Chain A
C-alpha cells in the first residue's frame, strides 16, 4: 500500500546572489514496510530530502503526501503534531536528551503524545528489549556507547508508533560492527512492525543491506533500484 508520494518536489536555497537547487523535480513513492536507502555523495540532497519528507523543512514547490495527507498544506503547529504521531527520526548524532535516561528518552515522545504512564512504560521497555538494551534502561546517554545511543534512538522512534522512520546517516559515527548491528535491528523491526524505514548513507557496506536503493545526484534522482 502506498504510504509516501513525492511529485515534482523542488527545493531552492538562496546563498547570496546564487540560487542553489538542492532538489530538482524529485518524484518518489514508498510503500508500507519498505526498507530503503537514500544514497549519493555529499551535497547530493539526501538530508534536504529527508528533512522535507519529515516536515522539518518546506519544499519550494511540489506535492508531498504521506498517508494520504498533503503535508505542504500544514502550518507549523500541524507539522509539529504530524511529526509527533506519524514520523520517527534517527539522526546521525546527538539523538538523545542528555539529562534523561534511556528509558525516559524512549518515553519522551509518548509523553508528548499523551499516552498513559503504564502504556508508555511497557512500550518503552519492550522496544529497549528489542534493541538489546533492557539492562541499560536507566543509564543516561553519557554512560552509553555511540552504537547503544543510536539503538536507543531507534527504540524511541519505533515506540511512538510512527508510519515511517527517517534516519539521516544513522551509522556514520559507528564502527562497522556497530553499524551492521544497528542495521540488522532496523531491518528486523521493519519486518516485525511493518514500519517503513528510509535512511540515508554513503557507505557502500551499509547500502548492501537495503532492499531498495534510491540514488541522488545534484538534487535529482539518478536511479531507483529494488533488490
Chain B
C-alpha cells in the first residue's frame, strides 16, 4: 500500500452533490421556495425596521439637539436652569475654528412657568437663533397662526396648539414666563405670542415654547451669567454626514479644555431611544430565529431524506474505498449548494420587495395616529426600506451558515453507514 489516495477532487464532489440535489426536483424546489420566502420576508421586514429606526433617529436629531451636544457635565442627569456654559461666546468661536462640516447651533433650555390671565403651566423654553436654527426649517412650515419671529425679536414667543389651548392664548397674547433662581430670587419676563405651531408631536405642542436667544438669555443672566459672554445651556452640532459623528465626538472631547463641559452624542442624550431600538432589534432577532428554525428543519428534512434513501449507495461508495470524511464532505457540498441557491432565490424575492419599497415606500399614516411618539421621537409616516451593506452581509452570512449547519447532522448520519449493513438493506 505505497500509493496514497488523494482527496476526492472538489470538482467531483460538487458534480456528485449537484446531481444528487436534483434527483428529486420537486422536493428541492419546494424546499428552496420555502427557504427563499422566509429569507425574503426577513430581508423585507429588517429593511423596514432599519428604515423606521433611521427615521426615528433622524427626527430625534433634527428635532432635538443634533448629532453632538456640548453642555454642562451634570445637566444630563439633573437638568437645572443654572447649569449652563457661562462662556458660550468663547466656546463657539473655538468650535468655529475647527471647520466642522455641519452647523453649530447655540441654544438655551429652561424650565419655566408660563402664565396668562387664564391659566399657568410648566413649560420648556427653548432659546434659539430664530434666523438660523435648524428648528426654523421644521417648525416654520407648521405654523397654524401668526408668523415666525424676526431676528432680534426680544419678546416674541412661539407656542404649540396644545399650550395655546391650555393657556387660552392666541397670536398677540401676553404670556409671563417665570422661574426661581438658585439664589432664591424670582425672575419673570413678559413675552408675546407671535405664532402658534402644530408640529404633529403632541408632547411638543403642549410643552415647548420657542423664542430668540436674546429673550432666553435674560433668565441665564438672572442665574449669574454675563450677557457679553453669551451664556448658553448647550451647543448643538448638526453634522452634514452622520458617519463622522464618532470622529468629531472624539476630536471635540480631546480638544475640550473645560472639565465642566461634557461632549455627548445623540445616543448619550437619548438613552431611551437607544433602548427602544435595542429592544426592537431583539424582537426582530427573535423573529429571525423562528424563521431560521423553519429554514433549518426544511433543509434537514430535504437533506436527511436524501441521505436515508441513499444508504445503499453510501455503503457502495464506502465499499469501493471512499473514506468516511469524504461522505461528510459530499453531504456538506449538497448543503452548500442548497444554501447558495436559497440565498440567491431569497435575495431575488427579498431584494425585489426591498427595491420596490425603497423606491415607493409604504404609507403607515393610516395605521399610526398623527402625533404618536416613540421614545421621545416620531417615525415618518411613509417608510422607505433601507438595507446597509453591513445588513446585507450579515443576513446572507446568517442564512448561509445556518443552512450549512443544518447539513451537519445528515452528513454525520451518512458517514456512519457501514458498507456491510448498508449493502444488506
Contact = CB atoms under 8 A, between A and B. Distances in A.
Interface of A: 51, 54, 56-57, 69, 76-78, 80-86, 89, 91, 94-95, 97-100, 108-109, 111-114
Interface of B: 1, 3-6, 8-9, 12, 16, 19-20, 23, 312-313, 316-324, 419-420, 423
A82 B320 contact: no
A80 B316 contact: no
Enumerate the 8 nearest inter-chain pairs by beta-carbon distance, A residue then B residue, closest first: A84-B321, A114-B6, A99-B19, A83-B321, A56-B419, A56-B420, A57-B420, A94-B312
Main secondary structure on A side of the interface with B: helix
Contacts of A113: 3, 5-6
A77 B5 contact: no
Contact of B316 (A95, A99, A111): A95
B8 A82 contact: no
B320 A109 contact: yes
Contacts, number: 73
A217 B423 CA distance: 23
12 contacts: A51-B420, A56-B319, A56-B419, A76-B324, A80-B321, A80-B323, A94-B312, A98-B313, A112-B6, A112-B8, A114-B4, A114-B5
A109 B9 CA distance: 12
A69 B312 CA distance: 29
Contacts of A54: 319
A97 B313 contact: yes
Given A89-B319, A114-B3, A114-B6, 13 more contacts: A54-B319, A80-B321, A80-B323, A85-B1, A94-B316, A97-B16, A97-B313, A98-B23, A99-B16, A109-B321, A111-B8, A112-B6, A112-B8
Given A56-B419, A91-B423, A111-B12, A69 B1 contact: yes
A54 B423 CA distance: 14
A78 B1 contact: yes
B313 A112 contact: no
Nearest to A76: B324
Contacts of A95: 316
A83 B1 contact: no
Nearest to B3: A85
Contacts of A111: 8-9, 12
Contacts of A99: 16, 19-20, 23
A115 B9 CA distance: 11
Given A113-B5, A114-B5, A80 B318 contact: yes
Contacts of B322: 80, 112
Contacts of A83: 319-321
Contact of A112 (B19, B316, B321, B324): B321
A53 to B, nearest CB: 13
A91 B19 CA distance: 23
A54 to B, nearest CB: 7
Contacts of A80: 318, 321-323
B10 to A, nearest CB: 11
B305 to A, nearest CB: 16
